[in-house]
Amino acid sequence: MASKPRTLYQKIWDAHVVERRDDGTCLVFIDRHLVHEVTSPQAFEALRLAGREVRRPDLTLAVPDHNVPTTPRMAADGTRIPIDDPQSAQQLAALERNVEQFGIRYFGATAKEQGIVHVVGPEQGFSLPGATIVCGDSHTACHGGIGALAFGIGTSEVEHVLATQTLLLTPSRTMEVRVEGELGPGVTPKDLILHIIGVIGTAGGTGHVIEYRGRVFEEMSVEGRLTVSNMSIEAGARAGLIAPDDSVFDYLKGRPLAPQGEDLDAAVDYWRTLRTDEGAEFDKSITILARDVEPTVTWGTSPEDVVPIGGTVPDPADFADPSKQDAARKSLDYMGLTPGTSMRDIAVENIFIGSCTNSRIEDLRAAAKVLRGRKIANGIRWAIVVPGSGLVKLQAEAEGLDKVFTDAGLEWREPGCSACLGMNPDKVPMGERCASTSNRNFVGRQGPGSRTHLVSPAMAAAAAVTGRLTDVRELEGELQA
Ligand SMILES: CC(C)[C@H](C(=O)O)[C@@H](O)C(=O)O
Ligand code: SF4
């Protein structure tokens, strides 16, 4: 008898269940555990108190990213520049102590491989298709872009994984987001995922693992897939998935921690089976038409508050749901915006190009393409480009992109989470606006009183040039009829 058709999620899940319990929970094997400084200290401390070891240090990789300043970390004489903020310095020191004591692979603040944990994982070939990947961080969903089942966990679960390399989980429901057709010129993976979140809402994926399907994703670069999957969590989903294919296998070839030679060939044979079977059913399914997607920006304080760049600030009264009306009013008040204002008339003072959503080499190339030969507008007070890792930084420098940015008047920084969230010195001043390539526009996210407009790297670059939210297609001379 032929076996029942399964979704990609179900295949990965089934391959990792160690034990099914009567109450429906399952003990699941975890292939890869990423660790950063924010959510790990108590977990290590608990292990220490219990006298336990890390079960599989070989499957664990740690890197500091949230608290590191993005200004130079090493003095000319090769000594480390101390971190000013005592709490950040303490977080980093704790991580260093923990990785040393427990024997965990570590890329420290001055290593060239250091970077944002979700950039480093795929880049090193540590994150692999079909793997279960966890990290004490909600944007672990990112790694679903290469076909891994990857999700964020809490600190007590971090401890559980460190101690046992397993987790007790309940299966998720499955959701298909099918995108039909092709994206137009100037429309990027970031615009697509912002649009999708606008359609399904921040609760649309709750309890589900989303699989993104359709030709758009098959033709999308691996970097773009990581961008899309990264923001699955902003749609409420547990994780995102895109079926791995040759682009992913080619991307992983030769990466230091990926399988090599015959091992890689064997792995690829298995990875090719990781596709949703014909006839497999999803619990929920939605279809998006790619031609409906424009360069997209947010107007409010939730990632679902999106509008095409050609649109206007919405009127709260136009929302059907009274709670949405109320939320929109509060958002507009916080954002200092008036209904009916054209999005293209909104001036910004700050530009942030970075974060685990958009700091890979392709993102920097897209921003540099717009900025080449141009200058940032007078009204821009602060504009920074923060590569996702030291290796992205080196690659960008080899391509001369750093020069394009600095010639245009932007600052070129060291890798880290930076202004994506206010846990390090990079903050947007109170009451000021930022065109940001990050993933969250929450109240106070980029610093107390900061106002965030989420955009793609090309759109952030365009805003830098004009000093206001701008349709990048105009700058690229690609404005469509
Ligand atoms: C600090 C960390 C726990 C947090 C997360 O879980 O996502 C951060 O990365 C974020 O993006 O808000
Ligand atoms: S870059 Fe931003 S979203 Fe990503 S892990 Fe860091 S703080 Fe979280």
Mean pLDDT, rounded, for 342-357:
98
Is the confidence at residue 132, as pLDDT, over 70? yes
CA-to-CA dists, residue 332 to 194, 335, 452, angstroms: 19, 5, 12
Confidence of residue 481 (pLDDT cuts 50, 70, 90): very low
Mean pLDDT, rounded, for 232-245:
98
Backbone phi and psi for residue 347, each to the nearest 5 degrees, phi listed first:
-80, 140
Beta bridge partners of 208: 173
7 Cβ below 6 A of ligand 1:
no
Q: What is the pLDDT of residues 262-292, one digit of tens each?
A: 999 999 999 999 999 999 999 999 999 999 9
Numbered residues of the known binding site for [4Fe-4S] cluster: 356, 417, 420
Spatial CB neighbours of 416, under 8 Å, sequence gap ≥ 6:
64, 65, 66, 68, 69, 70, 115, 116, 386, 424
- Rounded CA-CA distance 209/232 in Å is 9
- Rounded CA-CA distance 371/200 in Å is 33
Q: Which two tokens stand for residue 442?
A: 């929450």
How confident is the model at residue 479, as a pLDDT?
44
Full set of structural domains in the chain with CATH: 8-169 (3.30.499.10), 173-240+269-292 (3.40.1060.10), 296-475 (3.30.499.10)
How confident is the model at residue 3, as a pLDDT?
84
36 Cβ below 6 A of ligand 1:
no
Q: What is the pLDDT of residues 412-450, one digit of tens each?
A: 999 999 999 989 999 999 999 999 999 999 999 999 999
38 Cβ below 6 A of ligand 1:
yes
How confident is the model at residue 480, as a pLDDT?
41
Distance 317 CA to ligand 2 centre (A): 33
Mean pLDDT, rounded, for 334-342:
98
**ipTM, two decimals:** 0.99
Distance 137 CA to ligand 1 centre (A): 5
Is the confidence at residue 128, as pLDDT, over 90? yes
Numbered residues of the known binding site: 356, 417, 420
CA-to-CA dists, residue 371 to 276, 350, 465, angstroms: 41, 15, 7
How confident is the model at residue 2, as a pLDDT?
66
Is the confidence at residue 466, as pLDDT, over 60? yes
In the chain, the percentage of residues whose pLDDT exceeds 70 is 99
**Atom number in ligand 2 closest to CA 423:** 7
The Cβ of residue 468 has, within 10 Å, a number of other Cβ atoms equal to 19
**Nearest alpha carbon, ligand 1 atom 8:** 137
**Atom number in ligand 1 closest to CA 423:** 1
Look up the pTM and report it: 0.97
